[in-house]
Amino acid sequence: MNELSPILVLEVTVRTLAVCGLALAASLVIGLPIGVWLGRRRFRGRVLGVSLVNSGMGAPPVVVGLLVSMLFWRSGPFGFLEWMYTPTAMVIAQVVIALPLVVGITLAAVGALDEDWELQARTLGIPPLYRAWLLLREIRLGVLAAVIAALGGILSEVGAVLAVGGNLAGETRVLTTAILMYTQMGEFELALAMASVLLGLTLVLAGALTVVQQGGRS
Amino acid sequence: MSGARPALSVRGLSMRRGAGRSVFELEVEELDLWTGGALAVLGPNGAGKSTLLRALAGLDVPRRGRIERRVAGPVTMVFQRPIPFAGSVEHNVKAALSGQALPRSERDERVAEALEHFDIARLAGRDAATLSGGELRRLSLARAFALRPAVLLLDEPFDDLDASGQEALSLDLRRAIAGTDAAVVVVTHDLRRALLLSDRIAVLREGRVAQQGEREDVLARPVDTGVARQVGMSNLIPVRFEPPSHAVVDDQHRIPVLPREEPGAVAWAGIRPERLKVDVGRGEGQPIGKGRVLTVVSDGVAVTVTVSWAGHELRTHLLAGRGLARTIAPGDTVTLSVRPEDIHLLL
């Protein structure tokens, strides 16, 4: 029987936050520009791209876990990297889950902007980087919605991280995989402790983001 | 336009927008924008006004021809729908200056000046998203003027404003234009506002420049009936020219014109409404006969009187609340007069 140790809970919590934080940051860095691009540009194949994004928003995490596992399995195309059962593989799986959410919500936010917004900024001679910053300010409510959705999705996700991380103690165990494991072992005290932390994290982070988002509403 | 020089020159420009059946082509052989001058671009819907403006702003690439910048400085455009940036009114104007490496003090000075100029300084701290339509227009203009542009392109700057809003904004805009050396282009369907702001006129029709020139010249001497209607020469009467100085409408009606030599030509006589006089004393033109008043419509400033004469409906304007305008009524018989120099013959 395992002991309920604050250090154990803290270790798993810190790893959870690190994996989810990195995955969220990567999703935003990759997803925001793609969302803006898909939302503003008209090109052949755009509808296909948007449909892929929309389908991706509902992709089952366990299937994502399976696909990422196949990529990083020893015999897979990226097997030589030896990332299977590492936090890196978990971050990648979570990015795959969060990316469509970030792209989809961003493109919807950008699509609601006046179609001449960018041209107006350009004709005022505003430099590209500052223009990007203005655009982010413009769609900040949508961006925060994307952050809330993505964070909620990856923080509570278990199928993909279990498939690619393997729930190795001290290496890839995160709150969701720990809760699942302790529940299956009948160690409800530990499972409940981890679940309380996860629930608390979800509430605090989503709450804080919502406060920021609604504070930004004019 | 003393000291004026070309700011932007268009040569052999060809633009194409749309695709398939909805393709639209704009061809402009020659058009110059002058520093310190304002060009009003008039024309019916679909004539190519916005296409021309977008080309001048460099937003669309010409298929052929060129648009030459002849002066340094920003070329900026104010769109028909005001598009504010998220943030305060002051932030909006500052954002517009972000591309110019200005010392903070000069930047703040320009922001304050632009807000003052368009009477929105009291709104500096307000979120731009909470502004009314009129205030947003003023913000768009303040943002553009703060740049001190070399070329300023205005697309329907009075759209969706009520009469008093238009009046106030047009006066502020006129003052702002007078205080800059920018070459200004105003696209508007409102002839009165266009005339208030511009010193040159270009009339577009079906993607071509039907006429361009000094304002008074285009107003007084349109090249055809289409341009005449576009520039407010609404009284167009089919006539036969009888040398040396008469335009004959029918057996009973003739209009005196300046002497010229084109015998027997079928033509149109154009008279601007403000040049057609009703019931005036001697010295104000030559009488052309009597007509019957059909309608009298006042907008509080001007009274538009429609008179039936020789089977045509002619229009004239009177100043509201003064003289004849106070007594004239539908059904009245009035004498019409014009000066020969105010008759424009379109042969």
Note whether B85 contacts A127, CB cutoff 8 Å: no
Q: For residue B123, with 0-12 CB atoms within 10 Å meaning exposed, 13-18 middle and 19 or more buried, which class applies?
A: buried
Residue A140's CATH number? 1.10.3720.10
Alpha carbon of B152: minimum distance to chain A alpha carbons (Å): 10
Question: For residue range B11-68, what is the model confidence (pLDDT) as tens digits?
Answer: 999 999 887 778 899 999 999 999 999 999 999 988 999 999 999 999 999 999 999 9
Report chain B residues whose CB lies below 8 A from the CB of A117. Answer: 83
Pairing of strands B254-256, B246-248: antiparallel
Test mutation, A110, A124, A140, chain B, max B CBs within 10 A: A124
Q: What is the mean pLDDT of residues B184-213?
A: 92
Chain B positions in Cβ-Cβ contact with residue A120 (cut-off 8 Å): 77, 79, 83
- Residue B67, φ and ψ in degrees, nearest 5: -120, 110
pTM: 0.82
Distance from CA of B99 to the nearest CA of A (A): 5
Would you give per-residue pLDDT tens digits along chain A (218 residues)?
Answer: 567 788 889 999 999 999 999 999 999 999 999 999 999 888 888 999 999 999 999 889 999 999 999 999 999 999 999 999 999 999 999 999 999 999 999 999 999 999 899 999 999 999 999 999 999 999 999 999 999 999 999 999 999 999 999 999 999 999 999 999 999 999 999 999 999 999 999 999 989 988 887 775 54
Give chain A's domain count: 1
Of B83, B87, B127, the CB nearest to A114: B83
Residue A33: which residues within 8 A CB-CB, separation 6 or more?
none
Q: Give domain status of residue A205, yes or no.
A: yes
- Residue B214's DSSP bridge partners are B200
The interface predicted TM-score (ipTM) is 0.78
Indicate if the pLDDT at residue B131 is higher than 60: yes
Q: Say yes or no for a CB contact (<8 Å) between A138 and B86.
A: yes
Distance CA B55, CA B93 (A): 24
Longest distance between any two alpha carbons in chain B, whole Å: 75
Is the preceding omega at residue B263 within 30 degrees of 0, hence cis?
no
CB atoms B79 and A116 under 8 Å = yes
Output the pLDDT for position A196: 95
**Looking at the predicted structure, is the pLDDT value of residue B2 above 70?**
no
Has residue A71 been placed in a domain? Answer: yes
Is the pLDDT score of B283 beyond 70? Answer: no
What is the structure's pLDDT at B21?
Answer: 79
Residue numbers in A near B130 (CB within 8 A)? 218
Query: Are A127 and B79 in contact (CB < 8 Å)?
Result: no
Instruction: Pick from B53, B60, B80, B83 the residue to mutate for testing the A interface (most A CBs within 10 Å).
Output: B83
Q: Which of A122, A124, A140 sits opposite B147 (nearest CB)?
A: A124
- Closest CB to B95: pick one of A116, A119, A126: A126
Interface check B18 vs A, CB under 8 A: no
Contacts of B58 in chain A (CB under 8 A): 123
Position B195 pLDDT exceeds 50: yes
Q: How does residue B301 score in pLDDT terms, banded at 50, 70 and 90?
A: confident
- Residue B163 pLDDT: 82
- Output the average pLDDT for chain B: 91
- Contact: A137, B85; criterion CB under 8 Å: yes
Q: Supply the pLDDT for residue B144.
A: 95
Average pLDDT over residues B277-289: 77
B6-220: CATH, from 1.10.3720.10, 3.40.50.300, 3.40.50.720, 3.30.470.20: 3.40.50.300
Contacts A–B by Cβ distance under 8 A? 57
On the question of pLDDT at B284 being above 80, the answer is: no
Q: Which residues of B touch A124 (CB under 8 A)?
A: 74, 76, 95-96, 99, 143-144, 147
CATH among 2.170.190.11, 3.40.30.10, 2.40.50.100, 3.40.640.10 for B233-346:
2.40.50.100
| Domain chopping of chain B, boundaries | 6-220, 233-346
Residues with Cβ within 8 Å of residue B188, at least 6 apart in sequence: B40, B41, B42, B154, B156, B157, B158, B194
Once rounded to an integer, what is the mean pLDDT over residues B124-151?
94
Residues 52-91 of B with CB under 8 A from A: 57-59, 74-77, 79, 81, 83, 85-87
Residue of A110, A116, A123, A213 to mutate, testing the B interface (most B Cβ within 10 Å of its Cβ): A123
| Cβ neighbours of B100 in A, within 8 Å | 125
How many angstroms separate the Cα of A87 from the Cα of each of A2, A6, A20, A162?
24, 22, 10, 11
For range B331-347, the mean pLDDT: 90
Contact: B81, A114; criterion CB under 8 Å: yes
Instruction: Compute the nearest-CA separation of A120 from chain B (Å).
Output: 7
pLDDT digits (tens, 9 = 90+) for B223-238: 999 999 999 999 999 9
A 89-128 residues with CB below 8 A of B? 114, 116-117, 119-127
**Residue A1 belongs to some domain of the structure:** no
User: B86, A123: Cβ pair inside 8 Å?
Assistant: no
What is the nearest CA distance from B174 to chain A, expressed in angstroms? Answer: 21
Q: SS3 for chain A, per residue?
A: CCCCCHHHHHHHHHHHHHHHHHHHHHHHHHHHHHHHHHHHCCCCCHHHHHHHHHHHHCCCHHHHHHHHHHHHCCCCCCHHHCCCCCHHHHHHHHHHHHHHHHHHHHHHHHHCCCCCHHHHHHHCCCCHHHHHHHHHHHCHHHHHHHHHHHHHHHHCCCHHHHHHHCCCCCCCCCHHHHHHHHHHHCCHHHHHHHHHHHHHHHHHHHHHHHHHHHHCCC
Closest partner residue to B96 (CB to CB) among A119, A126, A137 is A126
Residues B104-110 have a mean pLDDT of: 94
Interface residue A199 vs chain B (CB under 8 A) = no
- Tell me how close the Cα of B209 comes to any Cα of chain A, in angstroms: 25
Q: Mark yes or no for CB contact B96/A114 under 8 Å.
A: no
**Does residue A218 form part of some domain?**
no
The pLDDT value recorded for residue B244 is: 83
B99 touches chain A (CB under 8 A): yes
Indicate yes or no: CB of B59 within 8 angstroms of CB of A119.
Answer: yes
The answer to whether the Cβ–Cβ distance between B75 and A123 falls below 8 Å is yes
Mean pLDDT for the stretch of residues B215-222: 94
Domain carrying residue A119: 6-213
